[in-house]
């Protein structure tokens, strides 16, 4: 049975939207996600610290009971953070300053030497390494060659496809990639853009061990929590 890792970056995005406000607390969101059954908590510590902060990752390492997965660029600064905090898994992702979210997989053809060095430094410190890649055989071959423990197959093209034929084509690339990576004995994860509809397409694709899902869950949390939140404030206003 596949695992669910919940990406809580956008809880931090809400907090960072206001200066000098300490809510919502991402660590509290992580605790609730764990109580609800999530096997892992994912945070992306970006170079610009636009949402998750270093202190969040340090606190999460202390309090969560399941797996802590740190998404990061393979820069020397981030490798230093990972060696210090010791998450269970580091997922290496590409990072561009002006992107709204991670736009594609890490290109291992272009970045093989630097990613390989990052993998071995993290391994030396006992941290498992996952690489976020597009569903392409060449990328998978290199991930295997440089000793990655896992690959996370980028599902964004499938999830965002605007027509059913584009969706079908994108999904068949995912299926081929998942099976190929599994054959090479890589642990296979998947993520990006998965929502309450698109998750259903993955039924039966047993090779996927873990789904990493963030935006759709945090978006739904806002709506399913709206009624209660308004009722609580409404009561306080009526009590004035």
Q: Which residues are tagged catalytic? A: 44, 71, 192
Say whether residue 213 binds ligand PXP (CB under 6 A).
Answer: yes
Q: How far is the CB of 230 from ligand PXP (least distance, A)?
A: 26
Q: Decide: is 212 part of the binding site for ligand PXP (CB under 6 A).
A: yes
| Cα dihedral 203, 5, 149, 102 sign | positive
Site for ligand PXP contains 74 (CB under 6 A): no
According to the binding rule CB under 6 A, does residue 34 interact with ligand PXP?
A: no
| Options 55-63, 78-86, 142-150, 186-194: segment touching ligand PXP (CB under 6 A) | 186-194
CA distance 139 to 109: 7
Q: How far is CA 209 from the centre of its chain?
A: 14
Which ranges of the chain does DSSP label H, i.e. alpha helix?
9-16, 26-35, 54-63, 76-85, 108-124, 137-145, 156-160, 164-183, 215-224, 226-238
Nearer to ligand PXP, 116 or 198 (CB): 198
Q: Report in angstroms the alpha-carbon separations of 166 from 16, 35, 130, 197.
A: 36, 37, 27, 16
Task: Please report whether residue 101 would count as binding ligand PXP according to CB under 6 A.
Answer: yes
Q: Two tokens at 167?
A: 């969706």
Give, as ranges, the residues between 42 and 61 that touch ligand PXP (CB under 6 A): 44
List, in sequence order, every residue forming a beta bridge with 213; answer none if it has no partner: 6
Q: Count how many residues are written for the chain.
A: 240
Residue 19 CB coordination number (10 Å): 5
Considering only residues 148 to 167 of the shown chain, the ones binding ligand PXP according to CB under 6 A are 152
Distances (CA, A) of 73 to 116, 171, 203, 219: 13, 26, 31, 25
The smaller minimum CB distance to ligand PXP, of residues 132 and 158, is found at: 132
Interface size with ligand PXP, residues (CB under 6 A): 19
CB-nearer residue toward ligand PXP: 103 or 176: 103
In the complex, what is the shortest distance from the CB of residue 9 to ligand PXP, in angstroms, rounded to a whole number?
6
Nearer to ligand PXP, 101 or 124 (CB): 101
Residues at the contact surface with ligand PXP, assessed by CB under 6 A? 7, 9, 44, 71, 91, 93, 101-102, 132, 152, 191-194, 212-216
């Amino acid at each position: 049975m596949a695992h669910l890792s919940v990406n809580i970056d956008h809880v931090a995005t809400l907090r960072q939207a206001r200066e000098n406000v300490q809510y919502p607390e991402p660590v509290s969101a992580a605790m609730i996600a764990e109580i609800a059954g999530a096997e892992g908590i994912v945070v992306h510590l970006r170079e610009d610290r636009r949402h998750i902060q270093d202190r969040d990752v340090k606190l999460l390492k202390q309090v969560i009971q399941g797996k802590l997965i740190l998404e990061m660029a393979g820069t020397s600064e981030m490798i230093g953070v990972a060696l210090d905090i010791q998450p269970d898994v580091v997922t290496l992702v590409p990072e561009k300053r002006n992107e709204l979210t991670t736009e594609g997989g890490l290109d291992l053809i272009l970045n093989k030497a630097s990613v390989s060095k990052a993998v071995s430094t993290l391994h030396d410190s006992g941290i498992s390494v996952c690489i976020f890649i597009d569903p392409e055989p060449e990328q998978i071959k290199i991930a295997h060659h440089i000793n990655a423990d896992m690959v996370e197959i980028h599902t964004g093209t499938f999830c965002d496809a605007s027509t059913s034929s584009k969706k079908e084509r994108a999904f068949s690339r995912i299926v081929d990639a998942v099976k190929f990576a599994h054959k090479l004995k890589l642990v296979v994860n998947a993520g990006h853009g998965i929502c309450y509809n698109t998750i259903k397409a993955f039924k039966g694709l047993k090779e996927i061990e873990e789904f990493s899902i963030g935006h759709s869950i945090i978006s739904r949390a806002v709506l399913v929590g709206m009624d209660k939140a308004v009722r609580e404030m409404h009561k306080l206003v009526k009590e004035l």
